[in-house]
Amino acid sequence: MNQMKWAVKTALSVMERTPKLYEKGYNGKWSYDYGVVLKGFALVWKRTGERKYFQYIRDHMDYFIGEDGSVRGYRKDEYNIDHLNNGKLLFLLHRETGLEKYRQAAALLRSQLAAHPRTSEGAFWHKQIYPYQIWLDGLYMGAPFYLEYLLTFEDGNGLDDVTKQFILCEKHTKDADTGLLYHAWDEKKVQPWCDPATGLSPNFWGRSLGWYVMALADVLELLPQGHRDYSELVRIFAEVLTALRNYQDEASGVWYQVVNMGGRKGNYLEASASSMIVFAIAKGIRLGVLNADGWRKTLDKAYRGLINEFVLETKEGWVNLNKNCQVAGLGGEDRRDGTYAYYISEPIITNDLKGVGAFLQACAEVEWLEDMKGAP
């Protein structure tokens, strides 16, 4: 088993450890976490051609997708951008099987965006229960799905509405001094967690930045290069990654939970954010939107760091991914205040699906790049 590359090794570990992602601790809930893992499986399937990886995706989605295109556990009227993430797998399933139920389910999720509440400038709220708020996380959940739907089923009309989401997010969350993006912004400047003058949350949370750069990598793969905002998204992508590179831990090569406070007591190197950043750099190089000469050394160091810092293999040969922040957010019933103390207080766990999914995607992209480099 040790002869296998990390992406395959991780995918097999997931299949053996969690044959049904939606069971253990999830009780069948329609949760965005599955989509992060299953996007990794889609990459492994694409790279290996082994049908079992596709079947794993299909089995999971078929638990939720009814023959009439309904989605078990999904409620459109919650207007929760997270609920769109799993929909990214529907395009692949529809292409492969031709079954109408997958297109209908995608159309149902798309209909949420037609009525999803927005800020005054047209950015989607993170959720109806989080009004007038842009969270970096939401760009990953919604934008790549929205873009692929428009390209697949709406003749590529309305792409500006997708690119606008990234442009508005950068406009309102970017810190002029570090180039990093704050976790969230409240247009009304009334949330307990925000600065009443700027509307910004107080810290740079690693995974939120990871979600954002992953989203940009996925969107840049699909967005036509002739689109008027293509070069602007490339600029944002490169600038955010450059800002992150300034905070790459010198010793380990990976990133901290609170990105810019590496030496502060209680902070820790965090697996999911580091995996997401590695994925984004590798995919950016593969797509040609990041200069390979300028980024390869950063990537190599970060990828080595991922393996050395976070991965342990069990006696069964399974991959365990350690040091994942289980969850972090702002506001809500828990009164999450976005302080440094808050971010380091959330549980740190092994094999969180968001972390494992991002790690799987990162390994698949790095290995794809390595194979391209080795090609004649």
Break the chain into its structural domains and give their ranges: 6-370
pLDDT in tens, 149-198: 999 999 999 999 999 999 999 999 999 999 999 999 999 999 999 999 99
Q: What gap in Å lies between CA 124 and CA 28, rounded to an integer?
A: 27
- Render 297-321 in DSSP notation, one character per residue: HHHHHHHHHHHHHHEEE-TTS-EEE
Residue 319 structure tokens? 């991959």
**Amino acid 176: pLDDT:** 98
pLDDT in tens, 72-122: 999 999 999 999 999 999 999 999 999 999 999 999 999 999 999 999 999
pLDDT in tens, 356-372: 999 999 999 999 999 99
Residues 54-75, mean pLDDT to the nearest whole number = 98
Give yes or no for residue 336 having a pLDDT over 60: yes
Phi, psi of 320 (to 5 degrees): -105, 130
**Amino acid 247: pLDDT:** 98
Annotation marks residue 249 as catalytic: no
pLDDT category at 374 given cuts 50, 70, 90 is confident
Return the C-alpha torsion angle 203, 207, 212, 217, nearest 10. 150
pLDDT in tens, 305-332: 999 999 999 999 999 999 999 999 999 8
Give yes or no for residue 2 having a pLDDT over 50: no
Q: What gap in Å lies between CA 309 and CA 205, rounded to an integer?
A: 19
Give yes or no for residue 376 having a pLDDT over 60: no
Q: What gap in Å lies between CA 279 and CA 275, rounded to an integer?
A: 6
Angle at 245 between CA 241 and CA 251, to 5 degrees: 150
Give yes or no for residue 11 having a pLDDT over 70: yes
Cβ–Cβ under 8 Å, residues 89 and 57 = yes
Predicted structure pTM score: 0.98
**Amino acid 126: pLDDT:** 98
Cβ–Cβ under 8 Å, residues 273 and 348 = no
**Amino acid 334: pLDDT:** 82
Give yes or no for residue 3 having a pLDDT over 60: no
pLDDT in tens, 272-283: 999 999 999 999
Give yes or no for residue 375 having a pLDDT over 80: no
Residues 226-248, mean pLDDT to the nearest whole number = 98
What mean pLDDT value characterizes the chain?
97
Closest listed residue to residue 198, CA positions, set 223, 181, 221, 212: 181
pLDDT in tens, 203-221: 999 999 999 999 999 999 9
Active-site annotation holder among 137, 186, 218, 352: 137
- Render 214-253 in DSSP notation, one character per residue: HHHHHHHHHS-TTSTTHHHHHHHHHHHHHHHHTTS-TTTS
Q: What gap in Å lies between CA 315 and CA 199, rounded to an integer?
A: 49
Percent of the chain with pLDDT over 70: 98
The CATH number that domain 6-370 falls under is: 1.50.10.10
State how beta strands 324-325 and 348-349 pair: antiparallel
